[in-house]
Amino acid sequence: MKKRIGLFFPVIVGALLLGLNLLGLRNFEWRIYDLFLKMKPPIEENDSLLLLVIDDTTINNINMFPLSRDFMAEGLILLKEFNARYTTFDVEFVDRSPRGVDAAYLNEDLPDLFYLKFSEIEQNFTGLFQAIQEKRISIEDAEVFVEELASYTAADMDFLLAEVKKIERDNDQYLGNAARFFGNTFMTLNILDWVDDTVSDDFRDYALEAFSVKTLNIIDESPLHEAIDINPSIMPVISGAKGAGFPRVEVDPDGVQRRVDLLYRYNGELISQLGLAPLLDWLGNPIVEVQKTRIVLRGAEHPDKGTIDISIPLTDDNRFLINWPKKLFEDSFQQMSYYTLVLHDELESDLASNLQIMNNEGYLTFYAGDFPLPDLYQELQTLQKDLLNGADPSLIADYRDYRLYFFEELGLFLNGPSVENILAEYQSLIDSDEYTPEEAAGITDLMAFVGEVFDGTRALYDELMKVRTTLA
């Protein structure tokens, strides 16, 4: 009996909805559909899908909405490190954003440059005064050297001013570079019901050439809706994308979204819906066959089922009917707060600062690894910048492996015998009787500082490793 009910259930539902439609009871038809949707078995939620949500946690911790594009760029960089395969943005980057600040350059590279240049200036003037004092240079001859030093100082000042200007960063280009670095990044390409005079013809042509559906077989044109114009994400951003699609949604008069367009046509080219675009790429870009009542993906390369044809039925208004999960949004599919990515970078930045303190204090001389940890970290930062600026993508694998190696080695150092060895070294100084009681007390304070630095750094490291485990 159950088998018979299951067999006739779709026929009964279809006949009922058709009758309601013919009677003009469209709203009642929608409610009946909603009712029967709840009676169907729940859809399978693929565990390879992850929704990154800009939620209250993200907004409250960053104190910013919408997020600036450097946060989006750094999220892509981190996702690539953890080998995410595809990323699709439903954020519309259609306007230029304010220029930002390269925080890593401001906090790391620039202070080192200032220290280096001012040390050189101090050394030059100290050397000159010492030479005069020792009468190796006469007062009369010193004027020539002073003029030379003034010239060198002016050159250093110009150099530092030029370096300071590098703090400013084009966040749009940064996001575009990060999208290219990630690889399979998909952005928005809006379809419009009006002409947008802000979009140039050249940009329209570029977007169509780069992001329209290329493998087509149109048997029936009736399912294709026409767009009046298009508005892609701005060039600095979308130029780094693998693909693009429109995020447009169809909302019924009762406020519920039940249907979605899968394809739109503009100037003879087809543009896919934002979710369909990466799916087509994932399936090996099969032939998109447009029929009157369905869209068929011919020769789709499914990773589990091999080469298959996938048939997507359409409603009577040529749209795809959505089979929603039987859950609230916050309970459906795998989700993660976007702040998880931001928190990772915040913790890593604090950890790098502590590592620099440990290096300045001489603690890292007790590290027994093959590469000095600060040097390795700096090399990785440089490699990341090179990759963002277009270096050979095959180096990404090295970048990922050496990042893993760095964190493993840092963990071994922080949790090994380093603290005991450092404290033993300080204690040997106290026990040597070469220092006054005041000096010995100062060494004791240094020993207490060792514990504070290592405890704080271990806490940062452990918290960061928890986040990285979540992302893995």
Contact in structure between 361 and 98 (CB atoms under 8 Å): no
Contact in structure between 373 and 355 (CB atoms under 8 Å): yes
Judge residue 290's burial from the number of C-beta atoms within 10 Å of its C-beta, 0-12 exposed, 13-18 middle, 19 or more buried: buried
What is the Cα–Cα distance from 262 to 313, expressed in whole angstroms? 11
What is the Cα–Cα distance from 334 to 24, expressed in whole angstroms? 40
Would you give the distance in Å from CA 288 to the centre of its chain? 31
Average pLDDT per 10 consecutive residues for the chain, totaling 472 residues: 45 52 56 70 85 94 90 96 95 84 62 73 76 77 73 71 68 95 96 93 95 92 91 96 92 81 94 96 96 94 94 89 82 92 96 92 90 93 94 94 96 94 90 84 89 95 96 91
- For the stretch 48-76, what's the b/e string if a residue is b when 16 or more beta carbons lie within 10 angstroms of its beta carbon? eeeebbbeeebeeebeeeebebbbbbbbb
What is the Cα–Cα distance from 171 to 188, expressed in whole angstroms? 17
Tell me the residue length of the chain.
472
**DSSP-assigned letters across all residues of 388-439:** HTT--TTHHHHHHHHHHHHHHHHHHHHTTTHHHHHHHHHHHHHHTT-S-HHH
Q: What pLDDT was estimated at residue 111?
A: 72
What is the Cα–Cα distance from 175 to 83, expressed in whole angstroms? 18
Q: What pLDDT was estimated at residue 325?
A: 81
What's the predicted TM-score (pTM) here?
Answer: 0.79
Q: What pLDDT was estimated at residue 369?
A: 86
- Give the Cα-Cα-Cα angle 253, 313, 2 (nearest 5 degrees): 95
State the CB neighbour count (10 A cutoff) for residue 236.
19
